[in-house]
Chains A and B, each alone.
Chain A
Amino acid sequence: MTRPADAPPAGPELPRFGRSARWVHGLVGALMVVCILTAAVLYNSSLQILVGHRRAVELVHVWCGFGLPVPLLAGLLSPGYRAELRRLNRFTPADWRWLRSRTRRDGRIPVGKFNAGQKLNGSLSTGAIGVLLMTGVVMLSTDLAPLGWRTGATLVHDWAALAVGLLVLGHLTFALRDPVALRSLRSGTVPRRWAELEHPAWAAEVERAQDGGDA
């Protein structure tokens, strides 16, 4: 039998996500998945026939929806999490070039901690959660909101939900293609080699900081 290849030596790891960022991501992700699954049951006739229990499904959906912004807001208490938000918020000229480029993955455009697609996913998700929350509250305010508003809110809620479903599907597709990135949301660290390949500008930044710290 051919001698099996040795496992590659575990290289140095760079810290990528702090505890608060990992918790916020995990909680928002779990709530989002429950919201999407319950929404599918509430909306799709075949699933509704299969599952039934409309009242219970509705309650789970509504309360998970109300729960979505809680971890997002609680994260703001953490300086580390706020630093991640600042990075996600800012678009540099390189980000615009990255979005327009057809060869964005070849490493010629310097990518920081987050690439432009990740930044866009972050802001689109946040905005969509806000829109779904706002329209959801109007839909529930049967005594306060005028009927026209509730009809409008239902329309926006339905289409925004469809868009968010596609966004999450795309997010999961990219995540499942990259086991290292996936693992980093549990462990918090990534191998230096992966960082140098996927996020070279960030890897350089971390290494500079570490060198500075060592000196």
Chain B
Amino acid sequence: MATEQPDVDGGGAPVGRRVVLGLLGLGALGIVGGARLQDALSTALAPIETRDPTGLVGLLPLGNTFRYYSVTGGVDEQDAGDYRLAVSGLVAQPGRHTLADLQAMPQTELVRDFQCVTGWRVPDVPWAGVRLGHLLDLASPAPAATAVRLTSFDGTYTESLTLEQARRPDVLVALRMLDAPVTHDHGGPVRLYVAPMYGYKSLKWLSEIELTDEVVPGYWEDRGYSVDGWVGSSNGRRDDPTG
């Protein structure tokens, strides 16, 4: 079929416009109905993703595995020998704990989900460490103290909890996660784990616990996140509670 077409670009069907409008329509459908599809995909692929030796499945945009977030450039590693955790502020007994000190304290083990406020959730993560409440008791907070301010040795990140939240039995100064010492990329050697709250409350690379007379909003809280980051009832989300 060799038809004469003097003006190849002049006529024809407006396929380009149809493609653009079709994609926009699909996108809108996906916004409204994609949540269900996401759940199905993530549940189906999570077991493969956690056991995938090639890491290729991790490149696909789905799945319930840890994603590593950091708000600074590279964080210098602190080795176990040099590590110190300061307890300061409105306390009678300021403290400076080594990793060995922390390891010698009573250890609490928890198996809880880790829920990120951006949507991903890692099921059944084993955690172990010292209850934050135990460290507070050792420091004897002054009567004026109502909150703790937590600082990361990345030099930028901070978090906060009320004293009541900090004393919950499921708030840990974690030394182990996933049945091994907390790795540097996960915030080791010592990080926080606030089981009932979204991941941004579980500060990584913990270096200081300061008792304050009011809650000082943390890094992401200055940028719009809820100060009381309960899983399922904050940040406009309704995930299953983890605490």
Count chain A CB atoms within 10 A of each CB in B8, B61, B70 and give the residue with the most. B8
* A124 and B23 form a contact (CB under 8 A): yes
Judged by a CB distance under 8 angstroms, whether B104 is at the interface is no
Judged by a CB distance under 8 angstroms, whether B37 is at the interface is yes
* A48 and B68 form a contact (CB under 8 A): yes
- List residues of chain A with CB within 8 A of the CB of B21: 127
Where the two chains meet, the residues of A that have a C-beta atom closer than 8 Å to any C-beta of B are 43-45, 48-55, 85-95, 110-114, 119-120, 122-124, 126-128, 130-131, 134-135, 138, 142-143, 147-156, 158-162, 201-202, 205
* B30 and A155 form a contact (CB under 8 A): yes
- List residues of chain B with CB within 8 A of the CB of A53: 70-73
Q: How far is the CA of A43 from the CA of B58 in the complex (A)?
A: 10
Contact residues, B45-66 vs A (CB, 8 A): 58-62, 66
Q: How far is the CA of A179 from the CA of B155 in the complex (A)?
A: 48
Q: For B224, give the chain A residue with the smallest CB separation.
A: A142
* A93 and B15 form a contact (CB under 8 A): no
Judged by a CB distance under 8 angstroms, whether B31 is at the interface is yes
* A51 and B73 form a contact (CB under 8 A): yes
Contact residues, B1-59 vs A (CB, 8 A): 3, 5, 7-17, 19-24, 26-28, 30-35, 37-38, 41, 58-59
- List residues of chain B with CB within 8 A of the CB of A134: 24, 27-28, 31
* B31 and A127 form a contact (CB under 8 A): no
* B27 and A205 form a contact (CB under 8 A): no
- List residues of chain B with CB within 8 A of the CB of A49: 68, 70, 185
Chain A interface mostly helix, strand, loop or mixed? helix
Question: Could you name 8 residue pairs across A and B whose Cβ atoms are closer than 8 Å?
Answer: A52-B70, A93-B12, A110-B8, A113-B9, A134-B31, A148-B32, A155-B62, A201-B5
* B62 and A158 form a contact (CB under 8 A): yes
List 18 extra interface pairs beyond A91-B15, A148-B32, CB under 8 A: A48-B67, A49-B185, A55-B223, A90-B12, A94-B8, A112-B9, A119-B16, A123-B20, A126-B16, A135-B30, A142-B235, A143-B236, A152-B34, A154-B34, A156-B30, A156-B34, A161-B61, A205-B8
Q: For B69, give the chain A residue with the smallest CB separation.
A: A54
* A131 and B68 form a contact (CB under 8 A): no
- List residues of chain A with CB within 8 A of the CB of B5: 92, 94, 110, 201
- List residues of chain B with CB within 8 A of the CB of A143: 236
- List residues of chain B with CB within 8 A of the CB of A91: 12-16
Chain B interface mostly helix, strand, loop or mixed? loop
Q: How far is the CA of A93 from the CA of B15 in the complex (A)?
A: 11
Q: For B73, give the chain A residue with the smallest CB separation.
A: A52
Q: How far is the CA of A159 from the CA of B60 in the complex (A)?
A: 8
* A119 and B37 form a contact (CB under 8 A): no
Judged by a CB distance under 8 angstroms, whether B81 is at the interface is no
Q: How far is the CA of A142 from the CA of B170 in the complex (A)?
A: 28
Q: Residue B8 contacts which of A45, A112, A130 (CB distance < 8 angstroms)?
A: A112
* A138 and B9 form a contact (CB under 8 A): no
- List residues of chain B with CB within 8 A of the CB of A126: 16, 20
* A89 and B16 form a contact (CB under 8 A): yes
- List residues of chain B with CB within 8 A of the CB of A123: 15-17, 19-20
* B35 and A90 form a contact (CB under 8 A): no
* A158 and B61 form a contact (CB under 8 A): yes
